[in-house]
Structure 1
Amino acid sequence: TIGPLVCEAIRPHVGIPIDVHLMVEPVDALVPLFAKAGANLITFHPEASRHVDRTLQLIRDHGCKAGIVLNPATPLAWMDHVMDRLDVVLLMSVNPGFGGQAFIPATLPKLREARRRIDAHQAAGGQPIWLEVDGGVKLDNIARIVAAGADTCVAGSAVFGAPDADGGYRGVMAALRRAAEQHL
């Protein structure tokens, strides 16, 4: 868990975008704090917002890209009415709470349907929307996840649990990229 102070402390030391996934309720009070601390992208669970459209606009008003996070049991319908405000849709492929959980296979059809909806939105003239998956992403499933439509994958325990003998972080990141590219 990283708060706004940690985000602010690491901002000068990284050249990559800082992606903040808010797993708190309510979210609106934290958006300005993370934006000021240097976040580039802020996502939140729609159940944690009183008004999803307004929260997305609040994030954008603070100069950040905005997105929603859908838990395994959260329906895709949440994205349908706010597509014009989304930069990213993050599908959780585990139930949030702790690292190291197994990927929930039912995420794959949900991922394919989310990709279909995003592609239809873009075909109708809408902006590009990243489709991200987080939870249980490993070497043995990343190709299927990418084949189902993800363009961004979050791997936590697969990376941070990598033994040094296998090349550590860099080795597992390279292996994950190679496995994901098998689909492409």
Structure 2
Amino acid sequence: MQISPSILSADFANLERELKAIANADWAHVDVMDNHFVPNLTLGLPVVEALLRVSPVPVDCHLMIDDPDRWAPGYAEAGARSVTFHVEAAADPVATARAIRSAGARAAFAVKPGTAFAPYEDLLPEVDMVLVMTVEPGFGGQSFMADQMAKVRQVREAVGRHGGEVWIQVDGGVSAATIEQCAEAGADVFVAGSAVYGQESAASAVDELRALAERHRHPA
């Protein structure tokens, strides 16, 4: 059970400090948005490169951008340990996943709440993780969409059929109140923004979320 705090909820003026505050996390989740694929603009490769120099934990880049086939491998080449692209935006998801892996990172694909997983099940051998969005991508602080747990279960069942070790990540509205149902459905990587950075102690919030997920772990 892995906790990946989202720096989208961190203090952008003090990102090195904010990263050090989550040194007990498994990942630092970095949302890259281009104001095209989603209606928001955050940061790009130059800022990610700076974060990579100071992050005490591996960086997990979630690319909410157009044309990830072109841009995603660069994040892996820069040193991100995990790079997620949206299947809705990828022209050739197989080639993109292989390019990310060839550059030394874990490859993952994401599906928005309205995107069915079944058409993309054949991609499982090409990736290391599937991200099921539990809010519409684009902004932090949205309400958790519990109806996406059916999709998490669907992905978990598909992973079981295909074999191999593919992680299932959930992102959006994950908190102490919602992480248990995510774990029970089969998720094992949890992105949490305000549920970590909105607390008095980010490190304590990470520990609490991990403990809750462990207690409700989906049977293998």
User: What TM-score do the two structures reach when normalised by structure 2?
Assistant: 0.75
| Match runs of 1:4-153 below 5 Å | 4-122=45-163, 127-153=164-190
Contact 1:5 1:37 in 2 (8 A): no
SS at match of 2:180: helix
Structure 1 window deviating more from structure 2 (27-36 vs 16-25): it is 27-36
- 1: distance between equivalents of 2:105 and 2:92? 18
Q: Is the 8 A contact 1:7 1:38 kept in 2?
A: no
Looking at structure 2, the residues matched to 39 and 8 of structure 1 have their Cα atoms a distance apart, in angstroms, of: 9
Query: Post-superposition shift, 1:78?
Result: 3.8
Shift of 1:152: 0.6
What is the distance in 1 between the residues matched to 2:129 and 2:168? 6
Match of 2:196, SS state, is helix
Matched, 1:181 2:218: no
1:67 deviates by 1.0
Structure 1 pair 78/61, CA: closer, same or farther in 2 (3 Å)? farther
Q: Is the 8 A contact 1:46 1:78 kept in 2?
A: no
Unaligned ranges ≥5, structure 1: none
Secondary structure of 1:48's aligned partner: coil
The percent identity for this pair of structures is 39
CA drift of 1:15 comes to 4.4
Secondary structure of the structure 1 residue equivalent to 2:130? strand
Is the CA contact 2:77–2:104 (under 8 Å) kept in the aligned structure 1?
Answer: no
Aligned residues: 176
Q: Residue 98 of structure 2 contacts residue 126 of structure 2 at CA under 8 Å; is this kept in 1? A: yes
Matched with 1:159 is 196
Q: Unpaired segments of 5 or more residues in structure 2?
A: 1-41
- What is the TM-score when the length of structure 1 is the normalising length? 0.89
Which amino acid is 2:181 matched to? R
Give the structure 1 partner of residue 203 of structure 2: 170
Q: Which amino acid aligns with 2:128?
A: D
SS in 1 for 2:213: helix
Deviations 1:63-121 (A, max 9, x none): 22111001111111243121110100000000011111111011111111110001111
Q: For 1:105 and 1:14, how far apart are their aligned partners in 2? A: 32
Q: Any conservation in 1 of the 2:73–2:96 contact (CA below 8 Å)?
A: no
Query: Post-superposition shift, 1:36?
Result: 2.6
- Rg larger in 1 or in 2? 1
Q: Partners in 2 of 1:160 and 1:29 — Cα distance?
A: 32
What is the root-mean-square deviation of aligned Cα atoms in Å?
A: 1.4
Find runs of 4+ consecutive structure 1 residues off by over 3 angstroms. none
Report which structure shows greater RCO (CA 8 Å, sep ≥6). Answer: 2
